[in-house]
Amino acid sequence: MKKIAIIGLLSLCAAGAYAQGTLVFGNDTPGTIVTHIWSPDSVTPTVQITGNTANDFPVGSQTYPHSVLIGGSSGAAGTPINYSFGNNFTAQIYADANVLNASASSLTPVSSYITTLATSSNPGAGFIILGNLSPDPGILYANTYSDALNNGTLDNKATIALACWYNAGGTINSLAAAQAAGVPYGESPTFNMKNLGEPSSIMTALNGAPTAATSAGNMAALQSFSLIGPSSVPEPSTIALGVMGACAFLARRRKK
């Protein structure tokens, strides 16, 4: 009897060590969440814009006057960057598991929730390609078994953000690498999720009998956002014209 109890306790601890939280990895669920990812503002590329527009759900009042929606088709990477080629932009969930209201700097990438932006009219520009994970490994440590035992139920939670960056044809594989490379990147405002799902394996371990998975949570609090890019640099020809003009002006003054 003692051996069985020890085995059961060890099993519970092992399952608790891998407690997870699943979510619907997409930003196009009409009636629940519709957000978009935009290119850097062409006038002020180093200033990020966030917030939902009149075409999002829930509806917002934000505008992106000098940006374009990213994605909608596919093509080769290169400069100047073609923002309609969704395959050259990666989107990934960053999270701080089992913590609410965490700072953006504490979030880390979730390896299972990564995809590219849309490469066709379905779902279309501004949307990520919906991840179809089976089984869904979720966000590790989104709950602890002590929480479950104390509250009588799993209360999976995490602070989450959606990051996006130019992947240069698949050669830039993380948000940090994009920042270091000086290519366009961005991250949504952080938001809390308390309705993360749980895989059946964890539910079964908790209940001691076969139990179905709980429903994955929708990212209903996700907001639209733009990427940021390097400052605009004048074309060489523009610089040359400016120098020539300054020289002509100085020469004219010297004659006088």
Domain carrying residue 137 = 2-255
Per-residue pLDDT tens digits for 183-200? 999 999 999 998 898 888
Structure tokens at 141: 């440590």
* pTM check: above 0.85: no
CA–CA separation, 206 vs 51, rounded Å? 39
In this predicted structure, what is the pLDDT of residue 204? 81
Per-residue pLDDT tens digits for 125-149? 999 998 677 778 889 888 765 555 5
Which string of b and e fits 107-126 if b means at least 16 CB within 10 Å?
A: bebbebbbbbbbbeeebebb
Per-residue pLDDT tens digits for 161-187? 999 999 999 999 999 999 999 999 999
The mean pLDDT value for 90-108 works out to 95
Per-residue pLDDT tens digits for 212-253? 888 888 999 999 999 999 865 444 444 444 444 544 444 555
Q: How many domains does the chain have?
A: 1
